[in-house]
Structure 1
Amino acid sequence: MDDFGVYAIFGVDEPPQQILSRREGWQSSTEIQPSVQLMVLFTRGDWGKRDSVSVELADERNIPINMGKLTPFNKCLSWESGEDGVWSSGATLTVKLIGGTTEFLDPGLALSQMECTPEYIPAVPALRECPGKRKRSQGEEKEEEVNEGRGKENICPKASEKVTPQRQSKNNHRGGQTRLFSQKEEQTATSSSQSHKAKGKQAKTPLQTAPLDKPSGRWGQTLCPIDPQTAILIGGQGARMQFCKDPIWKLCTEDLSWVPAETLAEGPTPEARIGHTATYDPESKRIFVFGGSKHKKWFNDVHILDTQTWRWTLVEAQGKVPPLAYHSCSMFRGELFVFGGVFPRPHPEPDGCSDSIYIFNPEMAIWYQPIVNGEKPAPRSGHSACVMQGRIFVFGGWDTPVCFNDMFMLDLGLMEFSVVKTGGTAPSPRRYLKSLYLLRVNCHKE
């Protein structure tokens, strides 16, 4: 018997109430009284072939104020009255079952949505190179023609194969799109291929892969703090040149725990990438993801993740900005300030480094380039930048073969660069670093 159900607890002292079951249909709505201070939603029973349960919280005017998903890997959601975006004068809770049937799915035959071990794909060893300018020799050009279409990608600096991300080739059939938060299309294609091969033969039982309790090993990712207790991990590339199949995680610093967060987000998700930036705006509580690279493909798109509704939005921006990777992105007064980075050039020219400033205005959805005066930094990538007191401080980075340890300051009021003269011993030249602004508060006892 199918005993799957969705339950809710309205208040600390209230018992659980079943709000959705098989006999009651696939969708239900429940009124929430203003007196309810806490609500917990959870599932009980065998999920079978069901995909998820969509949850929407709407106010008295039927305007959605919070959304989420229950899945086999995320079986509980909670809201508390008084939080930002949560009901204050009553609300309506709507739950809807998505996908699946009433049949059971044998857990022993189920594959986890987050695979631990990526598929091994052999590749031809290459010389170590990094994402700055690089020169292509005649031998490399011939090798590149032979390997064209194999979809080679940036790999970890400690790995044996080092290839700079290049422009997407029209003949590259391995450069298909990979969603950050969903592998349903890949799973469907894999299942179809396995079914085709299994005709006339005894079917093999697939191995079960255990869910991850922490992110898989990776590089080229971003870790973006959104409040004092929470940070969001986005993207990255793991072993054997494979992009991570568990691309988004939530870090809770209170108990130092990781939670897979890909099931929470809806909307058009970014394509898998490395070398991008993720910048949080505390005013709008949104994360802005810009740029990056994947195989021979470069990006100049902007994706926004609303951390209140957990919905992705792809911005159709006006203006011009080149595809960039390993750049810096700083938030100041609601605008994104992008500096430096690597950009592609037509073959056989080497990839170039930028020394330009590009500004994105989210309200107008437009890119523009300001007039910048003063002593500008040399073109670079892999540098760090942080905002302090109306200024952007830039340190380090590199432009092949030069690695920097200089520091520049951009006055955001005057839009003027200047060299920062520091005392003491400067850090050694370095690239792919990060810098952070720490606020110091002095407390005095009376």
Structure 2
Amino acid sequence: MRLFLTLLSDSKHHLRPRFFGAKGNECYSIAVPPAIQQVVVFSNGRWGKQTSVKVALTDTDKGAITLGNLSPDSRCITWECWETDIGSSGLTLTASMEEDCLIRGEPASVREPQGKRKRKREEDHEMGSRGQENVCPNSSPSQKSTPRRKSKGDVRSSHMQLFTHSLEQADLCMPHNQKAKGKQARASAQPASLVNPSGRWGHTLCPIDPQTAILIGGQGSRMQFCKDPMWKLCTEDMSWVPAETMAEGPTPEARIGHTATFDPESKRIFIFGGSKNKKWFNDVHILDTQTWRWTMVEAQGKVPPLAYHSCSLFRGELFVLGGVFPRPHPEPDGCSDSLYIFNPEMAIWYQPIVNGDLPAPRSGHSACVIQGQIYMFGGWDTPVCFNDMHVLDLGLMEFSPVKTIGSAPSPRSWHGCVVLSDTKFLVHGGYNGNNALTDAFIFDTASSSWTTLINPHLSAVPRAGHSIITMDSTHTEDSMKSGEQAIGLKACPQTLLIFGGGDNEGSFFSDLTTLLIDELLS
């Protein structure tokens, strides 16, 4: 059984039905924008053992009222604003699968579905007993928060502040704008949901259709892995829905530095690699977004455990470049210069013969596919941070360096990168070995030229280890202004979204910023 929600605004504009909750979740809540005049909650699918779902509407000032109960015999509830005297302030709609579920807009505990591997609660306490996560792939076990290994002859302290987090920053895990109340909160943010992902870096944000993206993994407050590792972003109203219990099957273990790649043909997300504490992964997990089920691949062939690599989809295969891997002797870790290809149909890893001028080993770089070529930029391998560009011709399987013109980005790793058009991609932020960066650049593959991009919303805060994606939406009404925070707003066609990251000063971000691609390119 699944719940869906549709809204009618005061302008008589219907929002498309959106997923709201599912069997296996005790409680779901979502904020209702002030302009909404009508709310319809309905269900479909088999109810199974669920016999009743209580639907309530909570007013910030006047409390909660129960709209009714959904059941196998009554599967739809409608509320109209003129039926009650509530609605003068923020409204929260809550669907409760259990009678003891919270109804005040706070996420209730959720039950693991049958067949899903449960996470060990002790994992959250391992940090204090065994040490922190190797917050960047190039740090030694003795370094608590460093973006690189200490090289010979380096007399400068190697304890960089990459995403170290002081105990005073605990409130970063609080849902965005939860402290704001009344008209001030609506004017500043118009929150579409009272729950949002906690601040993090090293995560992935993967678009799966024009209205949906999936957030997986990451690490944030107090250097611990996020206790809310999976979210669904609905771009029609830019709201977040906890998604860890939506899918059945064995979920991937908590990690950072992994990749999530969506195949639009099979509608599946491929999760590969990453690291957790002193553990490194080379497993492949698949999330089928049509059946919402996880499977773990028993692949043939060999691929080393990798983190902070790049993964690109081309003709149904995954192209994994670079990354950092465990190498106990003589250094704590090392970077790869190899290319590995995963064929999902055959469930096999193989290494192709690659010719040309191969790039140096690196991790934390970016890679994007444009017109049958993979453009690889930046990255890190102690003690060098790169800003060179290499291109891999996927027809010839040949690497070659790219001679660029214009002012190139400074050396960096863990930056954001996304394709903007048939010939252009964006590079934003990153880490240069000392500081998180704020600048942005556009590279034109047709002219091999760099252009510095000046945008106050991109340069607002230093940011590294964040995610940048583009979304295409069929909904074009009520277009937002460039750079506005995306809470409570609607996505437009060709919209750029930036989520999360850290500033190397102890802060991890949970904000979601949107920009119109047409304005960036102009």
Q: TM-score band (shorter)?
A: 0.5 to 0.7
Measure the CA separation in 1 of the matches of 2:2 and 2:396.
57
Residue 130 of structure 1 pairs with residue 85 of structure 2: no
Residue 228 of structure 1 pairs with residue 203 of structure 2: no
| Gap change, CA 1:158 and 1:427, over 3 Å in 2 | same
Measure the CA separation in 1 of the matches of 2:220 and 2:230.
13
Which amino acid letter does the alignment assign opposite residue 421 of structure 1?
Answer: K
Measure the CA separation in 1 of the matches of 2:398 and 2:18.
52
Task: Name the SS for the 1:272 alignment partner.
Answer: coil
Measure the CA separation in 2 of the matches of 1:127 and 1:98.
40
Identity, in percent, stands at 66
Displacement, 1:160? Answer: 5.7
Equivalent in the alignment of 1:257: 239
Which amino acid letter does the alignment assign opposite residue 274 of structure 1?
Answer: I
Return 229-238 or 327-336, whichever deviates more: 229-238
Equivalent in the alignment of 1:330: 312
Residue 302 of structure 1 pairs with residue 307 of structure 2: no
Equivalent in the alignment of 1:427: 409
Displacement, 1:97? Answer: 2.0
Q: For 1:224-373, what aligned pairs fall within 5 Å after superposition?
A: 224-347=206-329, 349-373=331-355
RMSD: 4.1
Displacement, 1:247? Answer: 1.0
Displacement, 1:228? Answer: 2.5
Residue 392 of structure 1 pairs with residue 374 of structure 2: yes
Which structure: larger Rg? 1
Q: 1:439 aligns with which of 421, 429, 452?
A: 421
8 Å Cα contact 1:249-1:261 kept in structure 2: yes
Residue 94 of structure 1 pairs with residue 46 of structure 2: yes
Equivalent in the alignment of 2:109: 113
| Gap change, CA 1:70 and 1:104, over 3 Å in 2 | closer
Measure the CA separation in 2 of the matches of 1:251 and 1:42.
12
Residue 218 of structure 1 pairs with residue 200 of structure 2: yes
Return 244-253 or 395-404, whichever deviates more: 244-253
Displacement, 1:219? Answer: 1.2
Displacement, 1:314? Answer: 0.4
The structure richer in strand per residue is 2
| Gap change, CA 1:248 and 1:124, over 3 Å in 2 | closer
Structure 2 stretches lacking a partner, 5+ long: 8-15, 31-40, 53-96, 111-120, 144-159, 167-192, 423-493, 495-522
Which amino acid letter does the alignment assign opposite residue 132 of structure 1?
Answer: N
Which amino acid letter does the alignment assign opposite residue 300 of structure 1?
Answer: N
Measure the CA separation in 2 of the matches of 1:99 and 1:324.
46
Query: How high is the TM-score relative to the length of structure 2?
Result: 0.52
Which amino acid letter does the alignment assign opposite residue 157 of structure 1?
Answer: L
Measure the CA separation in 1 of the matches of 2:20 and 2:392.
50
Measure the CA separation in 2 of the matches of 1:71 and 1:106.
6
Equivalent in the alignment of 2:363: 381
Task: Name the SS for the 1:364 alignment partner.
Answer: coil
1:327-381 deviations in Å (ceiling 9; x for gaps):
0000000000000000001355330100000000000000000000000000000
Which amino acid letter does the alignment assign opposite residue 353 of structure 1?
Answer: C
Which amino acid letter does the alignment assign opposite residue 295 of structure 2?
Answer: T
Return 321-330 or 306-315, whichever deviates more: 306-315
Task: Name the SS for the 1:406 alignment partner.
Answer: strand
Task: Name the SS for the 1:95 alignment partner.
Answer: coil
Measure the CA separation in 2 of the matches of 1:343 and 1:42.
40
Return 370-379 or 246-255, whichever deviates more: 246-255
1:58-99 deviations in Å (ceiling 9; x for gaps):
xxxxxxxxxxx55422796767xxxxxxxxxxxxx4321279
Count of residue pairs the alignment pairs up: 306
